[in-house]
Amino acid sequence: MRGMCAAMLFFEAIVLGLATPVMIAVEDVDTGVALAVGLGLAVLALLIAGMLRWPWAYNLGHALQVAAIALGVLVPIMYFVGAMFAALWAGAFLLGRKIEADKTARAA
């Protein structure tokens, strides 16, 4: 589960980082705000990916998905992109839990 969720967060960090120049150039968001929000969320995604060895970090991952969707306030296409990554995150999370449960059942 950890590997799949970390991969989703890694790719989401790339997209969040690339949303920063879109906020500046296309949506005319103030440069400081765009850097703080876009790059801040990207760095947060990478940090959470590294913390997934602890169960509570998955809750941070869920919160990051909400923040990525909320980024649509500044960049409207992020409503769609954020929802897409939230669906990928949910799939990785749920499928990972199922795989771990199956491994535990086979080991018993």
pLDDT band at residue 58 under the 50/70/90 scheme = very high
Whether pLDDT at 1 is above 90 = no
Q: What is the mean pLDDT of residues 52-64?
A: 96
Q: How many domains does the chain have?
A: 1
Q: How many helices (H) and strands (E) does the chain have?
A: 5, 0
What would the pLDDT profile of 9-31 be if each residue is shown by its tens digit? 999 999 999 999 999 999 999 99
Q: What is the mean pLDDT of residues 45-52?
A: 97
Range of the domain at 90: 2-107
Distance CA 108, CA 93 (A): 23
Comparing C-alpha atoms, which of 90, 101, 97 is closest to residue 64? 90
Would you give the distance in Å from CA 7 to the centre of its chain?
10
